[in-house]
Structure 1
Amino acid sequence: MVIGLTGATLAFREEILDALNPGVRTVAVQSAPVMAPQQIMQAARLVKPHERVTSIILYDTPGSSARVGLAPAPGERKGETVYLNPYNGALLPELHYEGFFEWVEQLHRFLLLPRDPGKMVSGVLAFCLMGLALSGLYLRWPRRVWDWRTWLTFDTRMKGRSFLWGLHSVVGTWVMVVFLVFTMSGVYWAFDPIRDMADGWMGTLRPPRDAAPKPKTPKADKPAKAEAADLTASWATFEQNAPNWHMAFLRPPERASAPLQILWVAKDAPHVRARSSMSINQQTGALLKNELYADKPVGARFQSTIYPLHLGTYFGVVGQLIVFIAALALPGFGITGWMLYLNRRRQKRIARAERAQFAASAPAGAQDDPVLMAYASQTGQAERLALQSAAALQKAGVAVHVHSLEKLTPPQLGKYRRALFVASSFGEGEPPDSARRFSRLLNAAKEELKHVQYAVLALGDRNYAEFCGFGRTLDQRLAVLGAQPLHPMIEVDNGDAGALARWGNALRGLMGNDAAEVALTAAADDSDYASWRLDQRVLLNPGSIGLPLYEITLTGAIGEGWRPGALVDIWPGHYGPDAAPRRYSLASIPQDGSMQLVVRQVRCERGLGLASGWLTDQAAIGDEVRVRLIANPSFDAYPQPAPAIYIGNGSGIAGLRSHLRARVLEGAQRNWLIFGERQQEHDAVCAEEIRGWRAQGFLPELDLVYSRDVTGGGYVQDCMRDRADTLRNWIADGAVIFVCGSLQGMAGGVDDALAAIISRAQLEQLTEEGRYRRDVY
């Protein structure tokens, strides 16, 4: 963090010094010619008569001061630098605040330690930063490697740990390359063996540092103030051979007989360290050596880029700005990393406390023979009843293990002596999506379950031909495997209170007949419902040959909101015990500021449907609506970034639209919508919104299918078969499939089409992985 802050301070060191010292390193541009090096030398001797000039730096930029370096005083490592007016040689003011930046540089490079140990500490820290950067890259490696949005964007609306992780990981990706440049250049400078090895690769290896210095030849006595040679001829030779020079660094030797060394940078040089060099005879002006930067070996040229890359000057002001931001981000990573660490510790502490509390509440000595309470739930009702049942058993002193069938296997089931199942059915007697894996494994199992006693509470709706189909299948299969029923299977029709009372009596058998009566209810408490206002009602399919389809908008207190794909229970008409709630898919997300539904008006012999008729026709704008949000985990957004395929028809656009709106806000662009209706002219629901998503790049694949058009558009499953190759490619890329709409026809047809395209086994695997999600009715 200290190195990052000091690095950010040094990123614009020269620009800051110039801003704090106006009129020192630059002066007002004049029409007069600038002074030559010989004139600069003479002017320096006038203002510093007792000092020896060791260097002169000149720039061809109009108004740039001449920088004159003086020999260090005895015992000092560095001499003074003075600035002279390039037009008249006048001494300019001293450069202030340079000492502060030199102190910051020592802190940055050596942490204010002595030079050699300071280099070692900085080098170790550079290695540590390299490890943090590369391990962070590994930890956030996404499934969609080639999707730049996955790497470089995150949802800024997230809160808590999710926001911190998004900020930490995404910004870390932005600056990853810069950090690697920092660390590699820092290691290069810090460790002499590494630097020697690298210099050897580049062909720029220096003489050994421990080599004995050459003995100095005794010098003959000479006048104390020997006059140096005139620089005029040498400068003329330089200008003749370097007409495009931008910066020239002259090092006048002590003896007039020694050659003049000039390092210079061309105007078209790739960076500020791209230096060429000349050696010129001071007496005659003859050119002794002229080494151009472009003629240097590749290794030497690469070595010269290390410092400009570290500073960012290799890419000009833009590079400096990038380095400044990256260096400034280092303290930010320290802060966010520490906060993430504290959050993780807090979550572990809470989890330990909850486990300890659960263990403390368990009856003594009962853990040796726990009861398994397993549930198969599509919309949460079976889970609710399973938890109520488990709580009642535990309150009576019976140890209970509660598990979803999603993760349970037959061998795990065989470890229990008593097992209770609360199983809802889906569609035409099928297992819920989360239980399909367990159902398949149980059908293939050969385990002996003669030691297991079991009971099944089957939830269903008699309006379906296969009433309680999965519960019945589960009961029969357990019997085939030898399990013994504690009591006959209990079937529950739409939360029938009598059936639930029989289940409560069965639980009392496990608790002991003298236990208190168990009260179970499939209905929600009144406190679970909230009052919302019917705010708007819009007909989406005027002129359609199908039943009217309405967008219903409700306004109320959003609170913590809901997840994409969530459901809502609606009490039709005035709230009372004679009414029954109806469930709808939410077509909006909390960020919309309202709750939106897409409701198909139902008509039967008795007239309009109870809930759909009230919402679409009978209720007045402004009427109160009692609603209850229902989590829908089987149709929730996938927990990891992945492409998404949305398939549906009719009012199924509701569940798909909530997901797509959330994806648009997240910036997730790889989405595919396959949606079917009757006629494009009348049934193009949400067409404007869909066109907008398409235009913005959020629907790179879009198929709208109209079955009753003159052209004979077919159905969504037909479209899927036509586009089978593309579907396979998307699935291979990790796509998640969401299906929402009518069970009859569409959902079954989509399921069969997918099985034909990718095989039934692979479709089952997608279900187990949570990549095949359905909300059908």
Structure 2
Amino acid sequence: MSRPSRAVVGNLLVLAALAVLAFLLLRLHLQKDGWQGAPPASHWRWAIGSVLGYAALCALVWWRGRPRDDAGSEAQAPILLVWASQTGFAQQLCERSAETLRAAGLPIRIRGLHQIDSTALQQATQVLFVASTTGEGDAPDHALPFLRTVMPQSLALPNLHYGVLALGDRGYGHFCAFGHQLDMWLRRQGAHPLFDTVEVDNADPAALRHWQQLLGQLGGTATDLPDWTPAEYQHWRLQSRALQNAGSPGAATWAVTLVPADGVLPIWQAGDVVEIGPRHAPTAVDAWLANAALDGAQVIDGVALREHLSRAHLPTAEETPSADAASLVSALRPLPHREYSIASMPVEGRVQLLLRRQLRPDGTPGLGSGWLCDHAALGGRIDLRFRSNPNFHAPAADAPLILIGNGTGIAGLRAHLLARRDAGARRNWLLFGERTAAHDFYFGDELQAWHQAGWIERLDTVFSRDGGEHRYVQDRLQANIDTLWQWVREGATILVCGSLQGMAPAVDAVIERALGREGKEALIVAGRYRRDVY
């Protein structure tokens, strides 16, 4: 059984103190002398003590709830989390975000937007904004000082990397307007977005789970904290999996194919993603049960105890399980989801994923990739949920499309190319980078066939370990900067899919050199420059 939370213990102590105080007051009320005359000295002492105790309690509550600044280091400056909230929801999400990042070992500072000035932004290296929009596209009231004193300034923020969680309601005319206003102002100051603005429509759980996933990726590893809003998964089956890069100098990469258990295939668009509910390896669950001396076949709420444990964080040695299996199950924390780009389209009759096996510091497989690549049984159950990703949907078929990616980012780009082929769109330019052509050219035969058939007008590939003139995809893009400018001039949309660290910011810098800052911003505003990075 897990230990009672601090909040529960604190509430019990307060109730006990109130009960004692009520008992003492009752004694005073029942005294025969009543309240005649001046109260005795003992009563004065009780009154003063009660007031001082109440003041101390208030001070303690304030002290525990005050913004807590973590100490940074030369290697890792604190991440600044800034909220702009009208009703308090954005502030709550900011505090939850802080918990997630702290759990990943990152130092954090939390501030309201009204507490931020130009100096704070110039001194920061990473800032995450949680910004709500009120009324018809307005900023929250407390943000007015920032709008009046900071945003009119022209600041130089070339060292600032930021992200924006924009809260809004599509029922209003200017959806997430203040979040986008903040994003565009930061771009004009030379700041670099870590990822595209995440829009949240009326507290949409899927968008919040996506934000939580991005938070985990900021520290270089996904967090294992439970989802803020657990997904409602559908039942799918693992049809096949195959290693794609045997002999590669990089980590193992697997193609995983999933099909619906009921045979009914839903519809999705190129650019959409799936959320997978991972599970522990059966051997890990059995070892935990044996150590706890519990029967995994015992049924709780219609599900075997072993099944409950497979989908939750296994209690540590300090969290001694109760002999009561039902109490144990009620205290379990569910495992968080993992997101993956969809490489296939509904016409193919399956969901295909391309994922790299992630390894923990001790060499064991990561939670999501370990489940899909190693532990899930062929034909076994996979918990899956689709998440629409409109920010990464393709333009109309008659518009040119530039697709840029590296590594497993080719998965989302492959779906776009397949959809474009089926729509008869030939003006496609793909730039792809990986380690070696012999081992890491995922979907290589298919992509080359599409190129020869004219479905990919330009195909540029670079492999960093093979030598050659260019090592990375951004180098090849830089070498073709005039062609990039010409395609954009002809109405092309740019879609970038791949690593958040390294590739995405480097490609962004090339695009800005080609188009200028204003040209790049105009492309963003028009929805013609979109990114799906991780």
**Which ranges in structure 2 are unaligned for 5 or more consecutive residues?**
1-85, 91-95, 98-129, 145-159, 167-175, 190-202, 281-309, 314-334
Q: Match for 1:440 among 166, 184, 188? A: 184
Q: Match for 1:548 among 252, 260, 264? A: 252
**Structure 2 letter corresponding to 1:577:** A
What are the within-5 Å matches in structure 2 for residues 554-565 of structure 1?
554-556=258-260, 557-565=263-271
CA 1:648–1:638 in 2, change beyond 3 Å: closer, same or farther? same
CA distance in structure 1 between the aligned counterparts of 2:390 and 2:132, rounded to whole angstroms: 14
**Structure 1 letter corresponding to 2:344:** S
Query: Is it true that 1:566 corresponds to 2:291 in the alignment?
Result: no
Query: Is it true that 1:599 corresponds to 2:350 in the alignment?
Result: no
Q: Match for 2:218 among 464, 471, 474? A: 464
Residue 539 of structure 1 corresponds to 243
Pick 1 or 2: higher relative contact order, CA cutoff 8 A, min separation 6. Answer: 2
**Structure 2 letter corresponding to 1:533:** R
Residue 763 of structure 1 corresponds to 520
Residue 311 of structure 2 corresponds to 576
What are the within-5 Å matches in structure 2 for residues 683-762 of structure 1?
683-762=440-519
Cα deviation digits, residues 98-143 of structure 1 (max 9, x gap): xxxxxxxxxxxxxxxxxxxxxxxxxxxxxxxxxxxxxxxxxxxxxx
Equivalent residue of 1:431, what SS?
A: strand
- 1:544 Cα shift? 0.7
CA distance in structure 2 between the aligned counterparts of 1:595 and 1:412, rounded to whole angstroms: 38
Residue 669 of structure 1 corresponds to 426
What are the within-5 Å matches in structure 2 for residues 23-422 of structure 1?
412-413=137-138
CA distance in structure 2 between the aligned counterparts of 1:462 and 1:716, rounded to whole angstroms: 25
Residues 493 and 528 of structure 2 are in contact (CA less than 8 Å); yes or no, is this contact kept in structure 1?
yes
**Structure 1 letter corresponding to 2:162:** G
CA 1:444–1:769 in 2, change beyond 3 Å: closer, same or farther? closer
Residue 60 of structure 1 corresponds to none
Residue 437 of structure 2 corresponds to 680
- 1:576 Cα shift? 2.1
**Structure 2 letter corresponding to 1:561:** I
CA distance in structure 1 between the aligned counterparts of 2:337 and 2:463, rounded to whole angstroms: 32
Cα deviation digits, residues 712-746 of structure 1 (max 9, x gap): 53111110110011110100111110100111111
CA distance in structure 2 between the aligned counterparts of 1:409 and 1:758, rounded to whole angstroms: 34
How many equivalent pairs are there?
Answer: 316
Equivalent residue of 2:274, what SS?
A: strand
Q: Match for 1:590 among 346, 359, 363? A: 346
CA distance in structure 1 between the aligned counterparts of 2:470 and 2:135, rounded to whole angstroms: 45
CA 1:708–1:639 in 2, change beyond 3 Å: closer, same or farther? same
Equivalent residue of 1:534, what SS?
A: strand
CA 1:444–1:744 in 2, change beyond 3 Å: closer, same or farther? closer
- 1:751 Cα shift? 0.7
Cα deviation digits, residues 335-374 of structure 1 (max 9, x gap): xxxxxxxxxxxxxxxxxxxxxxxxxxxxxxxxxxxx7899
Residues 677 and 683 of structure 1 are in contact (CA less than 8 Å); yes or no, is this contact kept in structure 2?
yes
CA 1:539–1:439 in 2, change beyond 3 Å: closer, same or farther? same
- 1:413 Cα shift? 1.1
- 1:679 Cα shift? 1.1
**Structure 1 letter corresponding to 2:276:** I
Residues 274 and 384 of structure 2 are in contact (CA less than 8 Å); yes or no, is this contact kept in structure 1?
yes
CA 1:774–1:692 in 2, change beyond 3 Å: closer, same or farther? same
Residue 473 of structure 1 corresponds to none
Residues 409 and 441 of structure 1 are in contact (CA less than 8 Å); yes or no, is this contact kept in structure 2?
no
Equivalent residue of 2:465, what SS?
A: coil
**% of aligned pairs identical?**
38
CA 1:627–1:465 in 2, change beyond 3 Å: closer, same or farther? closer
Residues 634 and 773 of structure 1 are in contact (CA less than 8 Å); yes or no, is this contact kept in structure 2?
yes
**Structure 2 letter corresponding to 1:439:** D
Residues 650 and 676 of structure 1 are in contact (CA less than 8 Å); yes or no, is this contact kept in structure 2?
yes
Q: TM-score, normalised by structure 1?
A: 0.37
CA distance in structure 2 between the aligned counterparts of 1:406 and 1:558, rounded to whole angstroms: 39
Equivalent residue of 1:757, what SS?
A: helix
Residues 534 and 555 of structure 1 are in contact (CA less than 8 Å); yes or no, is this contact kept in structure 2?
yes
CA distance in structure 1 between the aligned counterparts of 2:215 and 2:410, rounded to whole angstroms: 24
Cα deviation digits, residues 542-589 of structure 1 (max 9, x gap): 211111111100111454311111111112226523322111111111
RMSD, aligned CA: 3.9
Residues 544 and 682 of structure 1 are in contact (CA less than 8 Å); yes or no, is this contact kept in structure 2?
yes
Equivalent residue of 1:608, what SS?
A: coil
